[in-house]
């Protein structure tokens, strides 16, 4: 009996064919995902990535024990896989789509191995076990990288959201409006106070309208942050009108004995704007009455 | 270092320079009170736009000056505070700086004039 | 990450209060702290250096890099060889002071920085303050 090929030799010899099958499997296995893949990246890009990884893996599989990811031969393949997984995560692929990239190599290789090693069941079993182990490990690398990258993306996004979500809008000469949307925690409250004060000074606004219509929950902590914002604004010499306090919030605040009596507050933004304008000696009147 | 205290009408205007040492700050307090008496000033505007921080000592100097000026019959308005100083002062303690503030010199002047006018009218009412 | 040079400054005159807080602000700028944190740090240093000068008869101020397991930041040590602080907890309470002049400085400084640690005995007081930089995502 002639000596059977190893997986590495098989990959080397039939690389082009394996690559085609692999790409087909990626296409069929992911189903709807494949169509998404088409949207997110071109076929050519996918091919380049797959080709690169196949090359690196062919080298890696040449190691004596090719189930050891820490082996130096595996480093280029692992690096490349990390790179690919990270870019998938950033491009918006979901975890299944990302993992299936390397997982589908398993079924592609399997087809060739079954065909090539069909004479020797023992050899086929051995190689299949090893191949399973290594592809699973590679899949784990993929997933780990994916998770880390997603986390980075989320951190970046929440930071930019934090900055975006505290706009200061000039309502009139000397009046600014800051609509607050979302949960107010301590880091965000610092951001809010900093933006508000900067806005007040930039626009030289005597009055700032702080609208909390978009703040889902009002409790002692949030109220304290708001009081700090008002105090800091007053420190600079600007008055703050707090608007958008819901009926629920008003009840909660009183039940929690939060004292907002030192602040100018109103339920509707409309009334707050009216009050803000009256502080700077302006008023909105109807055209008819004015004439 | 001598800090200029300017007189405009019955109002004194002064600006605190960056990085004033404690001794000079104390001296400024004395000078300001003397000037108030000398000119019978009704109002004082202290511009702090040059300051990049206000620590508890500086806050105290400003507060005390305002209280002392009040004893001499002058209103004090501080103006031009940089935004990050507002944040720092609130974090250090709300009670730290209890003086009246305005965003800029224009608004400070308007506030002082309004107060002086109100007081004049009160006095006029008393007179009749 | 920007490396910070260790800076050792003497505290012996009122001008040193200014110098120390300026250097602290410069260090905070170098490290990439935002304007609000720069001001917090410089203000805290101003309070502590003035205390060291008034109550401790002078000493020195060391500004250095802080690299802990997960966080980067800045550490400033303010030392004096004065009588020391008898009751540290009490000294950190608002409005407490052994003389009339201060009493706000120490508690105020504590609120401005992330960590304030006091090590005090008669003849040597060392106050360490730390500010952490939010770790940037790679």
Instruction: List domains and CATH numbers for chain A.
Output: 7-161 (1.10.490), 169-290 (3.30.750.24)
**How far lies A102's CA from each of A132, B4, B115, in Å?**
11, 75, 77
| Chain C residue numbers touching A159 (CB-CB < 8 A) | 137
- A193 contact B CB<8A: yes
Q: What is the distance in angstroms between the Cα of A90 and the nearest Cα belonging to chain B?
A: 36
pLDDT tens digit sequence for A241-252? 999 998 888 888
Domain that holds residue C104: 7-133
Is the torsion defined by CA of A61, A62, A67, A69 positive or negative?
A: negative
CA distance B55 to A183: 32
Return contacts of A116-125, CB within 8 angstroms, 24+ apart: A116/A4, A116/A5, A116/A10, A117/A4, A117/A5, A119/A1, A119/A4, A120/A1, A120/A4, A123/A4
**Assign residue B110 a region: left if phi > 0, alpha if psi is -120 to 50, beta otherwise?**
alpha
Interface contacts (B, C; CB < 8 Å):
63
Q: Is residue C64 part of a domain?
A: yes
Nearest-Cα residue of chain B relative to residue C53:
B22
Does C138 sit within 8 Å of A156, measured CB to CB?
A: no
User: Half-sphere exposure of A161 toward its Cβ, with a 13 Å CA cutoff?
Assistant: 12
Total domain count, chain C: 1
pLDDT tens digit sequence for B35-73? 999 999 999 999 999 999 999 999 999 999 999 999 999
Where does B5-127 sit in CATH, by number? 3.30.750.24
Q: Which two tokens stand for residue B49?
A: 């736009």
Q: Considering the entire predicted model, what is its pTM?
A: 0.72
Nearest-Cα residue of chain A relative to residue B96:
A235
Interface contacts (A, B; CB < 8 Å):
52
pLDDT tens digit sequence for A160-215? 776 667 889 999 999 999 999 888 888 788 889 999 999 999 999 999 999 999 88
- Which CATH number do you get for residue C115? 3.30.565.10
Mean pLDDT of chain A: 85
Comparing CB atoms, the residue among A156, A159, A194 nearest residue C36 is A194
Q: ipTM, 2 decimals? A: 0.88
Q: Are strands B5-8 and A264-266 parallel, antiparallel or unpaired?
A: unpaired
**How far lies A182's CA from each of A216, B12, C21, in Å?**
6, 46, 37
Q: Which two tokens stand for residue B65?
A: 């000056």
CA distance A131 to A61: 9
């Amino acid at each position: 009996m002639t000596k059977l090929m190893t997986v590495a030799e098989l990959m080397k010899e039939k690389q082009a064919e394996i690559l085609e099958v692999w790409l087909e499997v990626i296409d069929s296995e992911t189903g709807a995902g494949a169509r998404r893949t088409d949207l997110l990246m071109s076929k050519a890009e996918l091919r380049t990535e797959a080709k690169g990884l196949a090359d690196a893996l062919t080298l890696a599989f040449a190691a004596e024990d090719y189930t050891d990811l820490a082996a130096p031969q595996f480093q280029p393949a692992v690096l490349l896989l990390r790179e690919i997984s990270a870019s998938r995560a950033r491009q918006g692929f979901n975890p299944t789509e990302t993992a299936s990239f390397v997982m589908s190599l398993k079924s592609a290789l399997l087809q060739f191995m079954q065909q090539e090693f069909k004479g020797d069941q023992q050899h086929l079993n051995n190689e299949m076990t090893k191949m399973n182990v290594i592809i699973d490990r590679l899949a784990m690398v993929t997933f780990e990288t994916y998770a880390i990258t997603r986390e980075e993306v989320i951190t970046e996004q929440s930071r930019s959201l934090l900055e975006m979500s505290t706009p200061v809008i000039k309502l009139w000469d000397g009046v600014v409006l800051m609509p607050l949307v979302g949960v107010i925690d301590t880091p965000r409250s610092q951001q809010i106070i900093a933006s508000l004060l900067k806005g007040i000074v930039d626009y030289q606004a005597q009055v700032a309208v702080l609208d909390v219509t978009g703040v889902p929950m009002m409790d002692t902590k949030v109220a304290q942050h708001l009081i700090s914002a008002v105090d800091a604004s007053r420190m600079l010499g600007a008055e703050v009108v707090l608007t958008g306090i819901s009926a629920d919030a008003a009840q909660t605040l009183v039940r929690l004995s939060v004292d907002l009596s030192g602040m100018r507050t109103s339920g509707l933004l409309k009334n707050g704007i009216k009050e803000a304008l009256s502080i700077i000696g302006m008023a909105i009147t109807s055209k008819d009455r004015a004439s | 270092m001598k800090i200029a205290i300017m007189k405009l009408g019955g109002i004194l205007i002064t600006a605190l320079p960056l990085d004033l040492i404690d001794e000079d700050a104390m001296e400024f307090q004395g000078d300001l009170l003397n000037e108030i008496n000398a000119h019978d000033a009704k109002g004082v505007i202290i511009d702090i736009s040059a300051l990049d921080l206000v620590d508890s000592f500086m806050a105290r100097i400003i507060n005390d000056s305002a209280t002392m000026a009040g004893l001499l019959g002058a209103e004090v308005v501080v103006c031009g505070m940089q935004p990050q100083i507002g944040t720092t002062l609130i974090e250090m303690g709300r009670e730290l700086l209890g003086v009246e503030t305005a965003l800029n010199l224009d608004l400070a002047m308007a506030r002082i004039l309004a107060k002086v006018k109100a007081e004049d009218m009160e006095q006029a009412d008393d007179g009749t | 990450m920007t490396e910070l040079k260790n800076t050792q400054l003497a505290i012996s005159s009122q001008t040193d209060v200014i110098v120390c807080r300026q250097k602290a602000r410069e260090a905070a700028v170098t490290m990439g702290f935002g304007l609000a944190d720069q001001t917090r740090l410089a203000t805290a240093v101003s309070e502590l250096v003035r205390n060291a000068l008034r109550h401790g008869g002078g000493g020195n101020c060391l500004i250095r890099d802080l690299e802990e397991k997960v966080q980067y930041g800045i550490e400033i040590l303010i030392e004096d060889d004065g009588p020391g602080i008898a009751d540290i907890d009490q000294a950190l309470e608002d409005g407490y002071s052994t003389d009339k002049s201060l009493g706000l400085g120490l508690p105020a400084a504590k609120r401005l920085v992330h960590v304030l640690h006091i090590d005090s005995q008669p003849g040597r007081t060392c106050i360490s303050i730390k500010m952490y930089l939010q770790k940037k995502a790679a």
